[in-house]
Structure 1
Amino acid sequence: MDIASSRRQRLSPEERHKQILDSAVAYFAEHGLDGNTRDLSKQMGVTQSLIFKYFATKADLIEAVYNRVYLDRIAPHWPELITDSTRPLRDRLVQFYTEYAQAIFTYEWMRIFMFSGLVGAELNRRYLDHLSAVILGPILAQIKAEAKSQRIPDFEDVWNLHGGIVYIGIRKYVYQMPTADPDAALIARAVDRFLKDFGIQVDPQ
């Protein structure tokens, strides 16, 4: 992205804001959240003052990156999809996790998530708290309602399922290790194994 050239095009404030944010996402994905705005501005071919014209502090820029990379990728229909009891639970979970993978299995999401976790950044904690309330809590409620095993499922079980699916993306974008099967097939198998542990129907409908 050549921001120095685009500057000569007299971009609107909205376009400039988006352009800086796009570049910040790419920069932090490559260098981690402790990367500084001075180096970011050099990579973009602009002055630091231009960045701070649109984002008053680095913290404000990081907050915008958080919203772009994390929150904006949570589709509003997912909670309704998960709780739609007119469909088999297996189908709902496979569809959700397939869509979720399509949203987060990107270089930027995986790298920023890993960098943020390594430095103990608040971003990951906030995101996981939000995900727990909006997505994982409803998943657990649905599993509890249909479980036929003696062991009662808990949040740790759901986190294990979720973490195992996210790890598919980590392998591809952090460890650079391609998977042997398509993501959708790996997700379906993970969901099936999980549901079988609680005696829940897994035969595709």
Structure 2
Amino acid sequence: MSSEERRRDILEKAIRFFAINGMASSTRDLARELGITQPLLYRYFPSKDALIQEVYEAVYLDRWNPEWDEIICDRSRPLRDRLIDFYGKYTDAIFEPEWLRIYLYSGLMGEEINRNYVNFIGQKILNRIVREYHIERGRRADGVSDKEMELVWNMQGGIFYYGVREVIFNAHVPLDKHSAIATAVDTFLIGLDAQLPEAS
């Protein structure tokens, strides 16, 4: 195994380890689980923070598909259709045990990995969705108000928690994923129209 292959193998196994044991787990326990020495682990990742940053990039940033940007901004289609399409594809990527468990564990521990992703989603997805809403309704899209941001977070959070219920809690979800996404999108759009009647 080459040095790069070894590094990648350690990273992939670290992702699984943190997903099962939580982000507070020690690098000593990680090394023991991987069957390597702690000095060897630090040869590839000089600190736990450096390793966690690479976990973040591998699990979250590297899974972002640039085609999703195009879906959200494709003004040849109604915004409702774009959002249902985007969230269908996005959740195909994130509704996995490792992704969800690491996100939840890092949030409970107050890790930067969680805060960074929340900021990433706010800028990459949610601000853009609200701007596209105003553009579709013939309004200027200069900025996003606190009320608008809260409404779009409600949609994002509802869709996310659908995945938590199904994947993490193994709970019965009465609607299939597509129907749940469509319901969340409709509720968001109706909510914005009701809260901001001048935008209708």
> What TM-score range do you get, normalising by the shorter chain?
0.7 to 0.9
1:23-172 equivalence runs, <5 A: 23-146=13-136, 154-172=148-166
Cα RMSD, aligned residues only: 1.8
Return 19-28 or 152-161, whichever deviates more. Answer: 152-161
The structure whose residues are more often helix, as a share, is 2
Answer whether contact 1:78 1:135 (CA < 8 A) is retained: no
Task: Please give the alpha-carbon distance, in whole angstroms, between the structure 1 residues aligned to 2:47 and 2:189.
Answer: 46
Residue of structure 2 equivalent to 1:180: 174
Figure out how many residues of one structure are paired with residues of the other and give that number.
Answer: 187
Task: Please give the alpha-carbon distance, in whole angstroms, between the structure 2 residues aligned to 1:181 and 1:17.
Answer: 41
Answer whether contact 2:71 2:82 (CA < 8 A) is retained: yes
Answer whether contact 2:23 2:106 (CA < 8 A) is retained: yes
- Structure 2, unmatched stretches of 5+, are 139-144, 195-200
Report how far residue 38 of structure 1 moved.
Answer: 1.0
**SS at 2:131's partner residue?**
helix
- Which string of whole-angstrom CA distances, capped at 9 and with x for unpartnered residues, describes residues 57-102 of structure 1? 1111101000011111221122221111111111100011011101
| Identity score, percent | 43
Any runs of at least 4 consecutive aligned residues in structure 1 with deviations exceeding 4 A, and if so which? none
- Structure 1, unmatched stretches of 5+, are 1-10, 201-205
Task: Please give the alpha-carbon distance, in whole angstroms, between the structure 2 residues aligned to 1:134 and 1:193.
Answer: 21
Report how far residue 50 of structure 1 moved.
Answer: 1.7
TM-score, reference length from structure 2 = 0.87
**Counterpart selection for 2:12 from 22, 34, 37:** 22
**SS at 1:193's partner residue?**
helix
Report how far residue 179 of structure 1 moved.
Answer: 1.8
Task: Please give the alpha-carbon distance, in whole angstroms, between the structure 1 residues aligned to 2:186 and 2:95.
Answer: 21
Task: Please give the alpha-carbon distance, in whole angstroms, between the structure 1 residues aligned to 2:154 and 2:104.
Answer: 17
